[in-house]
């Protein structure tokens, strides 16, 4: 549109609004909602389209606050140090060079101050590598967060909000999760009893390939994850060995959860299963089931778990 003779401001504004609607973030990773709609004959990849979105918006009026976030989002699209095609890597190199020219690297100096309501926190630069991030308590009412820099070049700021509240709805930011619990051995149908053996099946849909992904599923207190114990435990665990797609590089059978660590998870669907024996009785409230890219924790999926009731045999 910028190169069209006679293009007016209204048309340009409309085009930018359409582009903003197409841009989404999976955690911190930048994506386009219609990436699958590109005609095959254009030979355009998802990485290339995301990089071009950064190139056309970098430095434009009204987009300066998006430059840093989009650059990080494009960088997180890399797999093992590169984008998906040769053309995408060429455009990515240009984008990185333009970003570096627009925001030249310099030592962070001075004092950064963050204010939220009546709470204030500051950081003096340079800082030690093990310095904790600035933390502010959330006020009871909505208040603006104000960041100020004095005495030198300021840093890029990454802001996150943490709240100790129960998870009531599923959260999908790059991973979608489904969980199914069935009985391998059950004393009474429709009721969990001490000594019952349970099969847990977790289905994950990954929208992007990432290295080192962990699936973390909590188990009721006192329960034992079966497998590797020999004899009957090994036989019962085999009944839950029906996973699909990638398999965990390492499985951790803890006292509070089952964790599967995957060295590489490609885009698409995979299923993991494990078995556990219920040894404790009571009404148990479990934390959420979580899938997370370990080195990009914003790419994650979390689902709440229903309470589990176990009675005596």
What is the percent of the chain with per-residue pLDDT over 70, rounded to a whole number? 95
Indicate the pLDDT class of residue 236, thresholds 50, 70 and 90: low
pLDDT score for 234: 59
Indicate the pLDDT class of residue 42, thresholds 50, 70 and 90: confident
pLDDT for 232 beyond 60: no
pLDDT for 155 beyond 90: no
Q: Tokens standing for 154?
A: 């300021």
pLDDT for 213 beyond 70: yes
- Higher-confidence position of 295 and 87: 87
pLDDT for 40 beyond 80: no
Mean pLDDT value across the chain:
89
pLDDT per position as a tens digit, 157-191? 888 888 888 889 999 988 999 999 999 999 999 89
Indicate the pLDDT class of residue 237, thresholds 50, 70 and 90: low
pLDDT score for 162: 82
Check residue 177 and report its DSSP letter. Answer: E
Indicate the pLDDT class of residue 262, thresholds 50, 70 and 90: very high
pLDDT score for 303: 97
Region 73-96: mean pLDDT is 92
pLDDT score for 294: 87
- Higher-confidence position of 297 and 208: 297
pLDDT score for 228: 60
| Buried b or exposed e, range 109-126, using 16+ CB within 10 angstroms | ebebebbbbeeeeebebe
Indicate the pLDDT class of residue 238, thresholds 50, 70 and 90: low
Region 285-307: mean pLDDT is 91
pLDDT score for 107: 84
pLDDT score for 205: 94
Q: Which of 305, 302, 278, 298 is nearest to 215 (CA)?
A: 302
Q: What are the start-end ranges of the E strands in 167-225?
A: 171-173, 175-185, 197-206, 210-218, 224-225
The DSSP result for 85-124, as a single string, is SHHHHHHHHHHHHHHHHHS------EEEEEEETTEEEEEE
pLDDT score for 130: 86
What is the percent of the chain with per-residue pLDDT over 90, rounded to a whole number? 56
Query: 3-state DSSP: the chain helix, strand, coil percent, rounded to 5?
Result: 20, 35, 40
Query: How crowded is the C-beta side of 56, counted as CA atoms within 13 Å?
Result: 15
Single pTM value for the model: 0.69
């Amino acid at each position: 549109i910028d190169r069209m003779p006679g293009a007016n401001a209204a048309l340009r504004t409309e085009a930018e609004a359409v582009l903003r609607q197409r841009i989404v973030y999976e955690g911190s990773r930048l994506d386009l909602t219609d990436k699958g709609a590109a005609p095959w004959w254009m030979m355009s990849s998802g990485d290339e389209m995301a990089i071009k979105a950064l190139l056309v918006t970098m430095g434009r009026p009204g987009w300066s606050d998006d430059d840093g976030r989009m650059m990080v989002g494009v960088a997180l699209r890399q797999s093992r140090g590169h984008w998906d095609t040769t053309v995408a890597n060429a455009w990515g190199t240009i984008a990185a060079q333009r970003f570096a020219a627009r925001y030249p690297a310099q030592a962070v100096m001075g004092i950064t101050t963050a204010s939220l309501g009546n709470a204030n926190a500051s950081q003096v630069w340079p800082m030690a590598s093990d310095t904790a991030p600035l933390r502010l308590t959330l006020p009871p009412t909505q208040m603006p967060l104000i960041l100020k820099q004095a005495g030198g070049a300021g840093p890029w700021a990454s802001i996150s909000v943490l709240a100790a509240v129960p998870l009531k709805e599923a959260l999908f930011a790059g991973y979608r999760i489904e969980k199914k619990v069935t009985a391998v051995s059950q004393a009474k149908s429709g009721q969990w009893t001490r000594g019952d053996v349970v099969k847990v099946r977790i289905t994950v849909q990954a929208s992007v390939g990432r290295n080192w992904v962990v699936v973390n599923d909590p188990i009721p207190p006192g329960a034992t994850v079966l497998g590797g114990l020999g004899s009957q435990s090994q036989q019962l665990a085999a009944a839950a060995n029906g996973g699909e797609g990638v398999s965990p590089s390492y499985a951790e059978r803890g006292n509070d959860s089952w964790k599967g660590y995957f060295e590489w998870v490609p885009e698409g669907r995979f299923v993991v299963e494990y078995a556990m024996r219920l040894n404790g009785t009571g009404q148990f409230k479990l934390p959420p089931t979580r899938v997370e890219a370990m080195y990009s924790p914003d790419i994650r999926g979390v689902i709440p778990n229903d309470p589990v009731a176990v009675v005596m045999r």
